[in-house]
Structure 1
């Protein structure tokens, strides 16, 4: 199953800001990987708590996280719907 990537360049956020906090392997990727979610999520929650939901940064982070969550979870439901799986010998 080919899962779509959440490409960082599609969102207008400062990805360099998160570079030092991302795992070395993830930091080299052009897409959001699992290790980057808590970093982006923390910034998103900080803006939410500050009431900065009308800012461009908040909207872009929300779009980034929504895309990642959707493309990460939907295939899991599709996989579950394809049960029963073949038994392995």
Structure 2
């Protein structure tokens, strides 16, 4: 999965939970009101975070986080989204 960003702490994105936010790149829409336009076209936003970096961070924060939110861009464009979520869930 192409990950364009990681917000390590949020109290807003998952109500009543401490969460981390994973931002995927790429989107098939061009909404004028998009709140993450830099993630829409991955070619214009070359900075990436590896899956290993994300999982290492989450492993170290497992006892401090209640949830992980995946947003974008458009996460459902990534063919390996299901496997990524399965790996997240297996972490507990």
TM, length-normalised to structure 2: 0.26
Q: Which structure would you say has the larger Rg?
A: 1
TM, length-normalised to structure 1: 0.26
More strand by share: 2
